Amino acid sequence: MGLRNYIDDKIAPHFHEGGKFEKYYVFFEMFDTMLYSPDSVTRSAAHVRDGIDLKRIMMTVWFATFPAILFGLYNTGYQANLQITEFGYDAIPGWRADLVMALTGFDYQSFWANMLHGLVYYVPILVAVYLTGFFWEALFAWKRGHEVNEGFFVTGILFTLILPPAIPLWQVVLGVSFGVVIGKEVFGGTGKNFLNPALVGRAFLYFAYPAQMSGDSVWTAVDNFSGATPLSLAASGDLNFSAGLAENALNAGANGATQSLAWMDTFLGGIQGCIGETSVIAIALGAAFLLFTKIASWRIMLGVLIGMVAMSGLFNVLGSDSNPMFAMPWYWHLTVGGLAFGLVFMATDPVSASMTNTGKLIFGALIGVMTVLIRVVNPAFPEGIMLAILFGNLCAPLIDYFVTQANIRRRLRRTGGAV
């Protein structure tokens, strides 16, 4: 209460109407509502009233990402410590070497050493994303004369989790700037964007800097190391899907060492990949929480799974002598790449997804089909979930239109043409 009273009595009057900092009210309001609930509520009719508001929705989604964040920290540190143990202290670049050595050493068998090493890479990305994102949010809110909403709170955390751990920070700034400005603010801000801003930012980085976003060297923050993701190995024919185990260059470095890879490894998540996308079990915990709280749509998640299973099954039946991706079964599609993370946290974005119940199933199925189609048929894009969701976002209004028109036609037939 002391801090609340101090803000209300000593700070707030300077930013309200008539105060000397009145024109900067949006910046004050942004940080005030990050600490406390808004002091203004709807009082008059007619409004739909509910016990949940935008901030509570954002906080719920943010909380659901915790399992993926915590495992991502551990796995980032584990992958780096494992290779440093093999290649030596000099393999880790720049100032991080001294910091990591002082904090943890490089013991890949130590849980806390891996967690702290992961933090050394994740925290700078997180800070860069939020400082940049809130700068653009506050700037647009200031120029438009309205309050800063909480939409970027979740967009920012999701954006950090779909990036490789070794990405340069200047690219992080460019990506989040493009996602916020071009993917959202030019359309009016939160609630008016028809594309997922986090995916817009990642798509910009993917096409602008493909080597830094999809190259083998970005998945582990260690010099002189190059390790492909399981999805890249699958596209090159180095995974044996039927056996479930493959000897490959997943952890190949300067000495050409290899590590076996089983399907369970991709399910648990101790593999190369973007920070928050590798562990399906961690993502599933977040999905269960979102479904329990009814924040995310189960119809969209189910639709993605149905579309993915159906399309991968079709390719399995067709087969191919030249394309190994035809043989990838649905359970491998689910655990490699970012499909699991995309179907839980990205496809279910309530702003850019379909709104009707039937439309949500169709929307999800379209994403699942497109993901497998891009992965299998287009060799230039080993990962398909990002482009599939953006394509689904573009089709969402059309899907809802046809679903609504179909409902109207059924009602007219049932009522004999009466409106």
More confident call, 151 vs 315: 315
- Over residues 268-288, the pLDDT tens digits come to 888 888 899 989 999 999 999
Tokens encoding 363 = 């929307």
pLDDT at 221: 56
More confident call, 140 vs 380: 140
- Over residues 335-373, the pLDDT tens digits come to 988 899 999 999 998 888 999 999 999 999 999 999 999
- Tell me how crowded residue 81 is: count the other CB atoms within 10 A of its CB: 26
Mean pLDDT, all residues of the chain: 80
Give yes or no for residue 333 having a pLDDT over 80: yes
What single-letter DSSP state applies at residue 244?
S
Residue with tokens 């949940």: 52
pLDDT at 256: 43
CA 406 distance to own-chain centroid: 33
Rg (CA), the chain: 23
Give yes or no for residue 74 having a pLDDT over 50: yes
| DSSP conformation letters of 68-107 | HHHHHHHHHHHHHHHHHHHH-GGGS-TTHHHHHHHHT-S-
Distances in whole angstroms, Cα of residue 227 to Cα of each of 36, 87, 222, 386, 414: 45, 14, 10, 22, 61
What single-letter DSSP state applies at residue 138?
H
Q: Report which residue type is found at 6.
A: Y
Give yes or no for residue 93 having a pLDDT over 60: no
pLDDT at 312: 94
Instruction: Name the pairing type of β-strands 245-248 and 259-262.
Output: antiparallel
Give yes or no for residue 215 having a pLDDT over 70: no
3-state secondary structure of 245: strand
Give yes or no for residue 304 having a pLDDT over 70: yes
Reported as type and span, the H/E element at residue 144 is: helix 111-144
Q: Report which residue type is found at 242.
A: S
More confident call, 114 vs 369: 369
**C-alpha dihedral (12, 14, 19, 23), degrees to nearest 10:** -90
Average pLDDT over residues 5-26: 67
pLDDT at 262: 78
Distances in whole angstroms, Cα of residue 219 to Cα of each of 73, 340, 374: 13, 18, 22
pLDDT at 252: 41
Share of the chain above pLDDT 90, in %: 35
This prediction's pTM: 0.81
Average pLDDT over residues 211-217: 68
Give yes or no for residue 100 having a pLDDT over 70: no
User: For the chain, what percentages of helix, strand and coil (3-state, to nearest 5) are there?
Assistant: 65, 0, 35
- Over residues 364-417, the pLDDT tens digits come to 999 999 999 999 988 677 788 999 999 999 999 999 999 999 988 888 888 776
Of the CA atoms within 13 Å of residue 125, those in its CB half-sphere come to: 28
- Binned at pLDDT 50, 70 and 90, residue 72 comes out as very high
CA 204, CA 29: separation in Å to the nearest integer?
A: 31
Give yes or no for residue 244 having a pLDDT over 90: no
